[in-house]
């Protein structure tokens, strides 16, 4: 790659890493780049030369579905090696980010309480939804919600660093590309839009939240998540980065915010981590809390739609292999109907928004293990 | 620097909840691949540390990477290294060398025959 090596911008809410811990993390990034650059292209070759001809010989037609591609690809030795390595890279990513946090867990928790900007409101009574607890999403041991000590931030601090490694730095030095890209698109397409209250649903550690606070400095920015460790870290991180955001522990399916109290409601890679029932509730909740004229925008990876069956199969890898049980279904939904049923009547927006990060650093494909590399983001939404 | 004793160290959950998929027809291949990648990672870390060492040494005016490239080992040093390599390879390939030793006849008795023998030697 010609672009200079871009390290994550390190802030005070992250643990100190010693020489070897940092090296271990950088190796994971290199390992993931190797998989993307050197092994991923071979999948198409293996499919065309080996797997597809096998399927055609047996069925006298080409595979037409994810399952049919899988029938032959899962037997292919290159697919097996690629999958095995990709899964391993994911496990090594979490391990490499856990090590420094495990060592510093008490200090991180103590440091996270000293924040002067914005606010943090936790609700220890909030039920963690079953779509979070059934499996640990994208293989983070303990998921978003596990707490080891009082005031714990561990899962948030781990996630913060892991996202940088997962994206191989391709979401920018603050992992903010989804927020940055959406704000840039909003300002370009709706320059007159000036939200005074913004809500980010499923904010995790606030990677995508802060661009809204920066982009609309006059707005009051709220961000919610079900997981307390994420929110504690998010608040500490936002403060460390001099950004005032009001974080609260709430479920996006049913918040405590008043009707028609926001001009802009956003989410980033939230919808695919919910469920069939929950996603309907989330869209309805967006409608309820939006003021008339306000915008709902959900940033995701693109629906499978017209993709070739082979591309769908690869893009679908996370469903079965990275603990993303709702990934497949969420990419096959009737998004128009979802908005209509929630009460939206305006034209439903489904568009690709260019990444605000340098195009040259991206792989320009959506693929298992590199959904941040597409160079574009899919935005789904509607104006109330 | 004081390190906390292993007993005091809180341990995070290291295995993600959810069944771990395996890909090769023999899952042992997946396990071996995972171990090889972990070892490759640790090798990279060791190489990075040496790289840092050289850079620090150069910054501090102690020696440079060129000094290392141009350093000539004498016969004693070469022999010591070769001995270390041989020792390391014997340890790593212990299982294969052990099989050869069996094949050569020192321990070629059928193991089940030995079991039978020790079980029945009080009759």
Tell me, yes or no, whether B37 lies in a domain. Answer: yes
Residue A2 lies in a domain: no
Residue B49 maps to a domain: yes
B89 or A250: which leads in pLDDT = A250
Subunit contact A323:B16, Cβ cutoff 8 A: yes
Cα–Cα distances in Å, from A151 out to A112, A127, A162, B47? 8, 18, 21, 38
Q: In terms of domains, do B47 and B79 share one?
A: no
The yes-or-no verdict on residue A1 having pLDDT over 50 is: no
Which of A18, A26, A27 is the best mutation test for B, with the most CBs of B within 10 A? Answer: A27
CA distances from B23 to A181, B33, B99 (A): 36, 11, 29
Residue in B with minimal Cα distance to A88: B34
Banded model confidence at residue A369, pLDDT cuts 50, 70, 90: low
Query: Are A83 and B45 an interchain contact pair (Cβ–Cβ within 8 Å)?
Result: no
The burial of A343, by beta-carbon neighbours within 10 Å (0-12 exposed, 13-18 middle, 19 or more buried), is given as middle
A257 Ramachandran zone, left/alpha/beta (phi>0; psi -120 to 50): beta
DSSP-derived 3-state class of residue A340: helix
What is the residue whose two structure tokens read 């990419």? A331
Q: What pTM value is reported for the model? A: 0.91
Asked whether residue B41 falls in the same domain as residue B51, the answer is yes
**Contact between A323 and B18 using a beta-carbon 8 Å cutoff:** yes
> Same structural domain for residues B79 and B101?
yes
- Do B61 and B87 share a domain, yes or no? no
Interchain CB distance below 8 Å, A80 and B16: no
B55 and B80 belong to one structural domain: no
Nearest residue, CB atoms, B37 vs list A85, A154, A323: A85
Residues B86 and B101 in one domain: yes
A376-383 and A349-354 beta bridge pairing: antiparallel
**Which of A19, A143, A323 lies nearest to residue B49, judging by beta carbons?**
A19
Q: How confident is the model at residue B1 (pLDDT cuts 50, 70, 90)?
A: very low
H or E stretch at B100: helix B94-103
Q: What distance in Å separates residue B119's CA from the closest CA in chain A? A: 45
Tally of domains within chain A: 1
The predicted structure's pLDDT at residue B3? 52
Are B84 and B94 members of one domain? yes
Domain assignment present for residue B63? The answer is yes
Q: A204 lies in a domain?
A: yes
Complex ipTM, two decimals?
Answer: 0.83
Would you place residue A185 in the very low, low, confident or very high pLDDT band (cuts 50, 70, 90)?
very high
Residues B66 and B84 in one domain: no
Q: B61 in a domain, yes or no?
A: yes
The residues on B that touch A, with CB distances below 8 Å, are 9-18, 20-24, 29-30, 33-34, 37-38, 40-42, 44-45, 48-49, 52
Look at B12 and A139 and tell me if their CB atoms are within 8 Å: no
| Contact between residue A297 and residue A268 where contact means Cβ atoms under 8 Å apart | no
- Tell me: the pLDDT tens digits for B18-55? 999 999 999 999 999 999 999 999 999 999 999 999 99
Task: Tell me whether residue B7 is in a domain.
Answer: no
How many structural domains does chain B have? 2
In a domain, B29, yes or no: yes
- Per-chain mean pLDDT for chain A: 93
Owning domain of residue A323:
7-384
Q: Which residue has the higher pLDDT, A333 or B90?
A: A333
Contact assessment for residue A378 and residue A300, using Cβ atoms and an 8 Å cutoff? yes
Tens digits of per-residue pLDDT, A143-174? 999 999 999 999 999 999 999 999 988 888 99
A187-196, A214-223, B72-81: least confidently modelled range: B72-81
Is residue A369 within 8 A of residue A32, CB to CB? The reply is yes
For B64, other C-beta atoms within 10 Å of its C-beta total 14
Q: Are residues B49 and B78 in the same domain?
A: no
Q: Which of A85, A102, A134 sits opposite B11 (nearest CB)?
A: A102
Within-domain flag for B34: yes
From B9, B24, B34, residue closest to A88, measured CB to CB = B34
CB contact under 8 A, B23 and A26: no
CATH code: domain of residue A271 = 3.40.50.150
Quick check: is B89 in a domain? yes
Of chain A, the end-to-end C-alpha distance in Å amounts to 43
Domain membership of residue A52 (yes or no) is yes
Tell whether B30 and B58 lie within a shared domain. Answer: yes
Interface test with A, best of B40, B45, B46, B51 (most A CBs within 10 A): B45
Q: Are residues B31 and B56 in the same domain?
A: yes
Where in the sequence is the domain holding B98, given as residue range(s)?
73-106
Q: Beta partners for A367?
A: A370
């Amino acid at each position: 790659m010609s672009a200079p090596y871009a390290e994550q911008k390190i802030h005070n809410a992250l643990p100190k890493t010693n020489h070897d811990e940092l090296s271990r993390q950088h190796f994971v990034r290199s390992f993931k780049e190797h998989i993307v650059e050197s092994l991923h292209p071979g999948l198409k070759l293996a499919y065309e030369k080996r797997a597809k001809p096998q399927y055609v010989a047996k069925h006298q037609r080409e595979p037409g579905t994810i399952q049919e591609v899988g029938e032959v690809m899962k037997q292919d030795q290159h697919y097996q090696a690629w999958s095995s390595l990709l899964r391993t890279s994911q496990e090594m990513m979490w391990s490499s980010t856990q090590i420094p946090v495990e060592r510093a867990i008490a200090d991180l928790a103590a440091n996270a309480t000293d924040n002067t900007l914005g606010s943090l409101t936790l609700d220890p009574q909030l039920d963690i939804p079953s779509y979070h607890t059934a499996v640990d999403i994208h293989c983070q041991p303990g998921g978003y919600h596990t707490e080891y000590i009082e005031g714990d931030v561990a899962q948030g601090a781990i996630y913060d660093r892991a996202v940088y490694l997962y994206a191989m730095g391709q979401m920018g030095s603050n992992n903010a590309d989804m927020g940055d890209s959406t704000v840039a698109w909003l300002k370009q397409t709706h320059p007159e839009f000036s939200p005074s209250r913004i809500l980010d649903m499923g904010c995790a550690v606030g990677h995508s939240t802060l661009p809204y606070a920066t982009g609309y400095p006059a707005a009051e920015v709220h961000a919610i998540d079900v997981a307390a460790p994420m929110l504690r870290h998010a608040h500490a991180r936002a403060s460390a980065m001099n950004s005032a955001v009001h974080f609260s522990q709430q479920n996006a399916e049913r918040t405590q915010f008043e009707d028609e109290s926001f001009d802009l409601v956003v989410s980033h890679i939230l919808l695919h981590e919910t469920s069939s029932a929950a996603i309907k509730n989330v869209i309805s909740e967006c409608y309820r809390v939006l003021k008339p004229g306000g915008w709902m925008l959900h940033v995701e990876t693109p629906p499978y739609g017209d993709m070739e069956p082979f591309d769908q199969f690869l893009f679908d890898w996370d469903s079965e292999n990275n603990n993303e049980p709702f990934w497949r279904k969420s990419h096959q939904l009737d998004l128009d109907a979802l908005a209509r049923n929630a009460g939206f009547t305006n034209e439903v927006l489904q568009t690709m928004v260019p990444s605000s990060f340098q195009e040259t650093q991206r792989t320009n494909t959506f693929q298992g293990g590199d959904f941040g590399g597409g160079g574009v983001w899919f935005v789904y939404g509607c104006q109330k | 620097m004081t390190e906390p004793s292993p007993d005091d160290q809180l341990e995070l959950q290291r295995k993600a909840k959810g069944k771990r998929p395996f890909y090769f027809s023999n899952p042992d291949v997946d396990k071996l691949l995972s171990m090889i990648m972990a070892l490759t990672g640790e090798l990279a870390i060791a190489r990075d540390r040496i790289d840092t060492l050289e850079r620090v040494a150069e910054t501090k005016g102690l020696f440079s990477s060129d000094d290392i490239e141009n350093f000539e080992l004498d016969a004693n040093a070469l022999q010591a290294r070769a001995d270390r390599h041989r020792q390391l390879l014997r340890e790593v390939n212990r299982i294969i060398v052990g099989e050869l030793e069996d094949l050569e006849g020192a321990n070629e008795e059928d193991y089940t025959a030995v079991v039978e023998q020790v079980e029945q030697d009080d009759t």
